[in-house]
Structure 1
Amino acid sequence: MEAYVKIDIQENIATIEFFHPEQNSLPGTILAQLAQTITDAGNNPDVQVIILQSGGDRTFCAGASFKELITINDAATGKVFFSGFANVINAMRKCPKFIIGRVQGKTVGGGVGIAAATDYCMATKFAAIKLSELNVGIGPFVVSPAIERKMGVSATSQIAIDANNFYEAEWARSKGLFAEVFESIEEMDAKVASFAQHLCTYNPEAMREMKQIFWKGTDDWDMLLAERAAISGRLVLSDFTKKTLEKFK
């Protein structure tokens, strides 16, 4: 199957799904489509609640596309690529609708940041998380503000430094990333559907005001995440990172 971002709107609920055949990794084109789709759904008066999910039944998101990382040869291109994650997170932050995250399996790097930027995230017990960026000589600079906001500096620094290991879904729930963890995808999907439907019975204006309050203190993220993207764009050119990425060719 080819990569895609698609949206389906039913009864005031917009389900946005992204997919990439390489474990739902995210190249720049998919990141751009995802950011725009979230923005459009947020501006659509027929949408009251958004569900964000990925295709397939295994990995939620493998993070940045290694194929694209390998091709980056200058800092400007690197900043543009990492700005893709910044744009998705900022689109989620600015979206006036609550975004429910549905995480069916493992998630790595930028995928953890996307899960953290949802307003209420549900997962299965298979949804272990890892911040692996340090392994390739960079760091989770762009996504860490969203992760810190949900999990705190201590938990974020723990998984960022311990870049080789996955942390179980229950650990992520205990730190605030996941609101609920389920035994199966079927159980999770039933809860996601009923929860979204119930949210649609609430006052949209009240939910919009609540979201603004929940995201208070993030008004500088347009600039902050752009600065972080520049750091990643510079580090991806380092000798260490280039040599490491060569192994993945």
Structure 2
Amino acid sequence: MIRSIIFLISFFIFGYEIQAKANQNNIELECLGILRDNFEPHVANWKFKKIDNSAELEIYYGNKYRIAMLRVSDKTNDILVGNGKWFSKITNAARSLLYVRYIKSEKIFFIEGPELFRAEGKCKNITVNIQLPGNQTFKSFIKEMVYIIREHSEYAIAHPKDGDNIKRHLKHTCHALDPMTIKERPMPAPEIGLTKAIKRYLTKRKVKPIYVTIDSVTDEFIKLCKETIYSSDEKKLFPLAKKINSKFTLLYNKL
């Protein structure tokens, strides 16, 4: 078991060429390592996305998926530290706290949570190489995707009593935010998704604040799409479509 885990980590580390993002203040990592939950070992992989002093951590192990929002800072030029909470409905905040530490020169990432939850792994920086349709610029593509999201969310709420219509167009909306949220194909929007485009655009040194807002709102609704779109409680679909439409109508008007 341990030898298999070591092989997997070695393959992950050396199987990719490490690339740095253009903006050193914003990083995106993919990591693979060993996670121990109540002393039980698992092979785990996680994604870490940092923009300025905020970060998001997504971790997968066994059949579990967890996500955390963090506040991060550079302890030294080589060590990044952060703390935050798992995204959950647990009311006991102390039980949901976690701490992270990333050693940049060694590309080693540590996670420490409550109740004997520990993880350590090796990471690689990732860049998003995107071929935009029709040789569009990132700004024009982002505006088009914001428009698509606004339009399909509007279609979803056009007939409040038609559950099939709401679900169909909300799926189109969520797919435009992030294609990974939706299982069905084909979909009307490009497979790139707004999230990849906006995060790639944010690696530029100077961007207008509206694009940072779009990124934040996009992340918020991707999370809600994952929680809601395939939920058995279909009463949540219409309110989500309405919220998305309201936000993206305002964003489109500011672009």
Pair in the same fold by TM > 0.5: no
The higher radius of gyration belongs to 2
Larger strand share, 1 or 2: 2
Q: Name the TM tier (shorter chain).
A: under 0.3
Normalization by structure 2: what TM-score? 0.25
Normalization by structure 1: what TM-score? 0.25
Larger RCO (CA within 8 A; separation ≥ 6) = 1
